[in-house]
Structure 1
């Protein structure tokens, strides 16, 4: 069983890697993530009957590469970034308004246009807290299949539309699509054991203290401490960053397995409408904050884009925005979303309707 799962996972990763290489060849934004995501998504939708019925992409395998990304982001945390934290209070305040407004907008979209019952619409519309939304939605009687699909489509739509939109905005490929590197030049394997050791320690601590998205934020915090204190240098080679993107993209694409038909079509256009609304709100917030904070518009937009922490951090890396700043905003967004939906759920009236 384990051998079969390992072989299938390696095959899917290899095929997704080919998709990433093809995407890099045609200069798409964030090619290794988006190319692998589209490839594995196509496999999950078209050839799902060729996969064993009980197969699931192993999350522990994905976690190893999330550790790599977390450590890499953590090395970008500098004393200058830490000293600038008070200057982000304005953007955090506006992010608080954004979370409430985005959740309210999404609830209307999923409830009125999608015809979902109240619980499914409410938890499908949260602008973050993927696992928390699914867990709380299940307890509230939401349709878990629809809820899970909407939440993953949100993340996939954001990590696809944001880099493509920025490329169109600037009139030229940006970030990784223009050939920029994500890792420091000359990095080799000599520090890899230390990178993984620091990352694993951070992951265990993050899980113990219940950090949001601890698979990423735990290693990030550990690497940041090591880097800021000057205890060690943690260079990550470019090929490993590319491989991490392939694995993360492949794991997201496999979430489409078993989906299809009218529910898939409806979920897709609802997700696109929802994400468009949230990105519009995020753009308004970014335009307001730009003269107040001095941060670039693309950094602010990425900070408000409602994608997963890992995925949006990778977008930030791709665009050479400061991933530490972006990640701080997304951690706050997730914490705030969990708190907000916990209290708002108490105001949600019971509903016996079932999703249409």
Structure 2
């Protein structure tokens, strides 16, 4: 029985990998942007909606995210730390941004789409997908609805962001993502691997949210600031991270029914428009006040996934420290607030 299950799982993952690789190859041949991200995402999404028996890559996908954590950490240098006071004014806008999202998003889902209170709140909050599903479920929300709404949010934003960056901001998506592995010192590569593993597993042990990204980021930042490492992960590693992230986004829609497409996914798509307007307003304020570069400001307030926005910041050459600082602030506020709201909802139900 166990052997049969293993064989079936391996077969499904093999099919997923083959489909994702085909998407990558086609996007590469056609010269489309970010082929290692959008190729797998598009083909796996199509396969999932066609009910092809796909399966995510589990811990391999999680491990791929550690590469981005190391990339961010390696970008945190003494020069970036010196710039933190300059970011304070724009970071201070993040709580207002989240408050605006809550004030508009919760009624949007409740009144227009008929979601119950807990589901509406956790669907509206732009936190991590897994975190919002976990906290929302504890508060009595519908986990399937939350999962699809947040997956749709990430999918649409990641799909549209490159177009917006290229056509409205004139930002090329051709910035070198890293040096080839052959050009990097082997001892720094080993240190990066160790930092990724220690940060990831150490972060999980202490209950750090987003441990696969934040743990490696913290460890690598310490190494970067102390002068131990001087490079980001090699280009091949960044491309591998893009590949598995793209697969994960697409596979998440496996098993979606027609009813879910017309109600839940449609609600998620409509909500992205709301988020896009709010993000445009706040990023515009940041740019207008001279608090940040327009491209960095857009990426800092774009409510996509942290990993996906990191990839876009790297390929556009945006200020990675600026972008990540704002995303971390948003995620921390949402994560800290989530259990508080869950407790309030639970208290109301008891009353």
Q: TM-score, normalised by structure 1?
A: 0.88
CA distance, structure 2, for counterparts of residue 322 and residue 17 of structure 1 = 30
CA separation of 1:33/1:72 partners in 2, compared to 1, >3 Å: closer, same or farther?
Answer: same
Q: Secondary structure at the match of 2:92?
A: helix
RMSD over aligned Cα atoms: 2.3
2:20 to 16, 19, 25: 16
Deviation for aligned residue 1:338: 2.1
CA distance, structure 1, for counterparts of residue 322 and residue 36 of structure 2 = 23
Q: Secondary structure at the match of 2:289?
A: helix
Q: Secondary structure at the match of 1:256?
A: coil
1:279–1:305 Cα contact (<8 Å) kept: yes
CA distance, structure 1, for counterparts of residue 98 and residue 133 of structure 2 = 18
1:88-127 to 2 correspondence within 5 Å?
Answer: 88-127=87-126
1:319 to 299, 316, 330: 316
Deviation for aligned residue 1:25: 3.5
CA separation of 1:225/1:6 partners in 2, compared to 1, >3 Å: closer, same or farther?
Answer: farther
1:339 to 336, 340, 343: 336
1:46 to 50, 60, 63: 50
CA distance, structure 1, for counterparts of residue 260 and residue 124 of structure 2 = 17
1:119–1:142 Cα contact (<8 Å) kept: yes
CA distance, structure 2, for counterparts of residue 265 and residue 26 of structure 1 = 32
Stretches of structure 2 that go unaligned for 5 or more consecutive residues are none
CA separation of 1:182/1:337 partners in 2, compared to 1, >3 Å: closer, same or farther?
Answer: same
Query: 2:40 aligns to what?
Result: 36
1:119–1:140 Cα contact (<8 Å) kept: yes
Deviation for aligned residue 1:110: 1.2
Query: 1:236 aligns to what?
Result: 233
Aligned length: 342
Query: 1:180 aligns to what?
Result: 175
1:195 to 192, 197, 202: 192
CA distance, structure 2, for counterparts of residue 208 and residue 309 of structure 1 = 21
Query: 2:270 aligns to what?
Result: 273
CA distance, structure 2, for counterparts of residue 103 and residue 196 of structure 1 = 39
CA distance, structure 1, for counterparts of residue 89 and residue 229 of structure 2 = 33
CA separation of 1:89/1:325 partners in 2, compared to 1, >3 Å: closer, same or farther?
Answer: same
Per-residue CA deviation, residues 234-291 of structure 1 (Å, 9 max, x unaligned), is 4522222112111111012111111020221222332122112112111111121124
Query: 2:79 aligns to what?
Result: 80
Q: TM-score, normalised by structure 2?
A: 0.89
Stretches of structure 1 that go unaligned for 5 or more consecutive residues are 352-356
1:250 paired to 2:254: no
CA distance, structure 1, for counterparts of residue 21 and residue 237 of structure 2 = 12
Deviation for aligned residue 1:344: 4.1
Deviation for aligned residue 1:345: 4.7
1:203–1:214 Cα contact (<8 Å) kept: yes
CA separation of 1:273/1:187 partners in 2, compared to 1, >3 Å: closer, same or farther?
Answer: farther
2:148–2:268 Cα contact (<8 Å) kept: no
1:143 paired to 2:142: yes
